[in-house]
Amino acid sequence: MTPLERLDRYLRGEHGRSAATRSAYMADAGLLLTLAGDTDLAALGSKDIRGFVRRMNSQGHDPRSIARRLSAWRAWFKLLMREAGFAHNPVEGIKAPRAARKLPRPVGVDEAMGFLDNLTDTDPLARRDRAMYELAYSSGLRVSELVGVDCEDFRDAGATLQVLGKGGKVRLVPVGEMAIHTIQDWLQDRASLPQTGDAALFLNRFGRRMSTRAVQLRLAEWSVKLGLPDHLHPHRLRHACASHFLQGSQDLRATQELLGHASIATTQVYTLLDFQHLAAVYDSAHPRAQDKDGAE
């Protein structure tokens, strides 16, 4: 039985995978055979696998696809060690190239302020939405943190908020004056909703805590209603808070603390956004940025 036949039998076995998973595994296995050429699988070493990774990377393969293939190859060689007497697994310890960090598309100050200022519907749930999005932008909250806020989490007359972040880590964040005012307005409407005993600050019309999906859908609806050229989503409000705070403060550590990032490397992505803004302004404003005569 060939190594490929062993893999196919395994994938169709007692704990058989779905047709899509089998197809993906077999395609990844076929690619390895192609890369190996005339070299027997049992003779492949770590140096060969690293060479295959470099080749795929140079050909523009997505790092996540390379990582998936390495995972499939690793599992295949484990099977062959168990069933075909292969002496070693050459894929062990081999990692895919790091994926390029994708920058969040920035939201301008005017765009953020214009959106929030236009949430003026007199409907109580619209006032709730304005309070939610003001708080998200004011304090840089993740959507999960936003829906997790309870009324009792505020300190200092609402100027500070205790947030339960990733990994159960608690942090204190400041709350802007506009967010405080809109939350106070919402609290009056909140009292008119069905009283279920839910401590959540933001409730749906049934008096239950808002879900992250509901927050996302409401924001998408507002984007359409206000005719925004590009739909907003909660995480872009968090990005906007981070970018605008960093532009104004130039304090990376304070931005890290505000956002609750475990590593400052995560926060540093906003310095790249700041540079993008600087570069755009430079190109449009500096008299020597571009050749005005169009010469190369």
CATH of the domain at 124: 1.10.443.10
Any idea which of 136-140, 152-156, 183-187, 252-256 has the lowest mean pLDDT? 252-256
Contact criterion met (CB below 8 Å) for 260 and 169: yes
145 and 29, same structural domain? no
Residues 165 and 61 in one domain: no
pLDDT digits (tens, 9 = 90+) for 66-90: 999 999 999 999 999 999 999 999 9
In this structure, the dihedral spanned by the alpha carbons of residues 235, 237, 239 and 241, taken in order and rounded to 10 degrees, is -140
Q: Which long-range contacts (CB under 8 A, 24 or more apart) does 287-296 make?
A: none
Which position among 127, 130, 190, 261 bears the catalytic label?
Answer: 261
User: Would you say 211 and 200 are in contact if contact means Cβ atoms under 8 Å apart?
Assistant: no
Q: Which of 128, 130, 142, 244 is catalytic?
A: 142
Give the mean pLDDT of 249-271.
Answer: 82
Cβ-contact 166, 236 below 8 angstroms: no
Look at residue 95 and tell me if it is in a domain: no
CATH of the domain at 35: 1.10.150
Half-sphere exposure of 213 (CA within 13 A, CB side): 0
Residue 273 is given by DSSP the state H
Residues for the chain: how many in total?
Answer: 296
Spot the catalytic one: 61, 171, 235, 277.
Answer: 235
Supply the range of the domain harboring residue 205: 109-283
Q: What is the mean pLDDT of the segment spanning 140-165?
A: 93
261 part of the active site: yes
73: phi > 0 → left, psi -120 to 50 → alpha, else beta; which? alpha
- Choosing from 105, 166, 225, 231, the catalytic residue is 166
Active site residue 286: no
Let me know whether 133 and 75 are in one domain. no
Structural domains counted in the chain: 2
Q: Is there a domain that residue 58 lies in?
A: yes
Q: Which member of 69, 236, 238, 244 is catalytic?
A: 238
Q: Are residues 129 and 224 in the same domain?
A: yes
Q: Do 251 and 259 form a contact (C-beta atoms < 8 A)?
A: no
User: 75 with 154, same domain?
Assistant: no
* Beta carbons of 69 and 26 less than 8 angstroms apart: no
Residue 15 has pLDDT above 70, yes or no: no
Is 236 an active-site residue? no
* 121 lies in the same domain as 214: yes
> Looking at the structure, do residues 136 and 221 belong to the same domain, yes or no?
yes
Tell me the per-residue pLDDT of 18-58, one tens digit each, with 9 for 90 and over.
888 889 999 999 999 999 999 999 999 999 999 999 999 99
Task: Check whether 292 has a pLDDT greater than 70.
Answer: no
Distance of CA 177 to the CA centre of its chain: 28
Catalytic annotation present for 142 = yes
Of 10, 133, 137, 270, the active-site residue reads 270
Task: Enter the pTM of the model.
Answer: 0.60
Mean pLDDT of 119-136: 90
Asked if 165 contacts 171 with a C-beta cutoff of 8 angstroms, the reply is yes
* 134 CB-contact burial (10 Å; exposed 0-12 / middle 13-18 / buried 19+): buried
In this predicted model, what pLDDT tens digit does every residue of 77-123 receive, in sequence order? 999 999 999 999 999 999 988 876 665 566 777 888 888 888 887 78
235 catalytic, yes or no? Answer: yes
In 3-state terms, what secondary structure has residue 174?
Answer: strand
166 is catalytic: yes
